[in-house]
C-alpha cells in the first residue's frame, strides 16, 4: 500500500513508481505545463571543471518524452512555467535567466552567459525566477550576492533590493569572513522567490532560516522565522504556500500561519533520499518534490 502524507486538508499518497524512466543525474527542480507534462531541471555533471545539465520532459505517468539543453546548460537550478506555457529557468553557473518554449526554443536571455554581473546587479549565480500576474519577473540572485531583482516582461530591469555580503558559498568556497545580512530586508542566500496573487513577494532566505515578505516595491512587510532551510516554494490555487525545506514540506497561509509539515527522510520510494530542493503542484493538486544531494531523487505525491 502506498504511504500517505500531509497536513490538514492537504493529504497525499506517494506514487512510488514515478518516474517510470530514470532521471540522468540530480533533479534540482521540476515544473508542469498546462498539459501535465513535467519538466525536470537535471544536473548531469557538477564539478568546477565539468558542469552540464539538461531539461528532461516526462508525461504525467512518468514516461520520458524529450530532453534538451545538454549542449549549453551548465548547473540547472530552478524552473518555473507560466499559465501560457513559457518556461523560465535559472542556470547558476552560467549567471543567466532564460525563457523557453515547451519545445526548448530559446525565447529570451537575461544576463551575460558565463559572466557575473556588476556588484548589486544581475546576476551572480541566480537561484530562481517567477512571473507575477502582471507579467513582471522576479529573480532571486543568491549564491554569490543577496539581491532580488524585478524586470518587466520584456526583460528591462526596474528594481533591485536587498543587502548582506556573506553567504554559504562565499564562506565555503572563498573563505570569506564578511558579515552576513540578518536584519529585515537583508539576506543570507535568498534561495527562491514567489509572488502572491495580491503582489506580495515571498523570499526564501535560506541561510537565515526564514521567509521574508515584501511588497512589489521591495518594502519589508514581515518575516516568518525558524523555517528549516527553506529552499523553494510554490503557491497553490487555494493561495496556500508549500515550501520545500530541509525537514520536509511545510504548508503556510499567505499571512504566515504554519499549518504543519509532512514527509520523511529515508531510502524508501515514498521518502526523501536527498534534501527537498524544488517543489511544484500540478493542475490535479499533485505535488512533485525534487531533491539535491542524491541522484535521481524526484518524488510524486497524488492529492487525495
Dump pLDDT digits (tens) for 121-132. 999 999 999 999
pLDDT at 291 over 70: yes
Query: What pLDDT score does 174 carry?
Result: 72
Own/partner pairs, 291-296, CB within 8 angstroms, 24+ separation? 291/27, 292/26, 292/27, 292/28, 292/43, 293/26, 294/26, 295/23, 295/25, 295/26, 296/22, 296/23, 296/25, 296/26, 296/27
Q: Structural domains in the chain?
A: 4-303 (2.120.10.30)
CA distance 172 to 149: 25
pLDDT of residue 34: 96
Average pLDDT over residues 160-178: 76
Task: Give residue-wise pLDDT tens across range 14-55.
Answer: 999 899 988 999 999 999 999 999 999 999 987 777 888 999
Task: With a cut of 70, say whether residue 233 has pLDDT above it.
Answer: yes
Please give the average per-residue pLDDT across 169-186, as a whole number: 80
Check pLDDT > 70 for residue 167: no
The confidence score (pLDDT) of residue 51 equals 85
In this model, does residue 144 exceed pLDDT 70?
Answer: yes
- What is the pLDDT at residue 168? 64
Cα separation, 113 vs 115, whole angstroms: 6
What are φ and ψ of residue 173, in 5° steps?
-90, -40
What is the overall mean pLDDT for the chain?
Answer: 94
Amino acid at each position: 500500500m502506498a504511504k500517505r502524507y500531509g497536513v490538514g486538508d492537504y493529504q497525499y499518497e506517494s506514487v512510488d513508481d514515478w518516474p517510470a524512466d530514470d532521471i540522468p543525474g540530480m533533479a534540482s527542480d521540476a515544473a508542469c505545463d498546462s498539459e501535465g507534462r513535467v519538466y525536470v531541471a537535471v544536473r548531469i555533471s557538477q564539478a568546477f571543471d565539468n558542469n552540464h545539465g539538461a531539461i528532461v520532459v516526462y508525461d504525467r505517468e512518468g514516461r520520458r518524452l524529450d530532453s534538451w539543453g545538454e549542449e549549453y546548460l551548465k548547473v540547472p537550478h530552478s524552473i518555473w512555467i507560466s499559465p501560457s506555457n513559457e518556461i523560465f529557468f535559472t542556470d547558476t553557473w552560467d549567471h543567466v535567466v532564460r525563457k523557453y518554449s515547451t519545445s526548448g526554443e530559446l525565447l529570451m536571455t537575461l544576463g551575460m552567459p558565463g559572466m557575473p554581473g556588476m556588484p548589486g546587479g544581475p546576476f551572480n549565480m541566480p537561484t530562481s525566477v517567477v512571473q507575477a500576474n502582471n507579467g513582471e519577473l522576479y529573480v532571486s540572485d543568491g549564491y554569490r550576492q543577496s539581491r532580488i531583482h524585478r524586470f518587466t516582461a520584456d526583460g528591462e530591469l526596474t528594481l533591485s533590493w536587498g543587502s548582506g555580503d556573506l553567504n554559504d558559498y562565499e564562506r565555503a568556497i572563498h573563505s570569506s569572513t564578511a558579515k552576513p545580512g540578518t536584519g529585515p530586508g537583508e539576506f543570507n542566500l535568498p534561495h527562491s522567490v514567489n509572488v502572491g496573487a495580491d503582489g506580495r513577494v515571498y523570499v526564501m532566505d535560506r541561510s537565515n532560516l526564514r521567509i521574508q515578505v515584501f511588497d512589489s516595491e521591495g518594502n519589508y512587510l514581515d518575516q516568518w522565522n525558524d523555517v528549516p532551510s527553506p529552499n523553494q516554494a510554490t503557491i497553490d490555487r487555494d493561495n496556500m504556500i508549500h515550501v520545500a525545506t530541509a525537514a520536509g514540506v511545510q504548508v503556510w497561509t499567505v499571512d504566515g500561519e504554519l499549518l504543519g509539515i509532512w514527509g520523511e527522510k529515508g531510502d524508501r520510494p515514498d521518502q526523501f533520499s536527498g534534501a527537498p530542493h524544488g517543489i511544484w503542484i500540478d493542475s490535479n493538486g499533485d505535488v512533485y518534490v525534487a531533491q539535491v544531494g542524491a541522484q535521481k531523487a524526484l518524488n510524486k505525491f497524488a492529492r487525495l
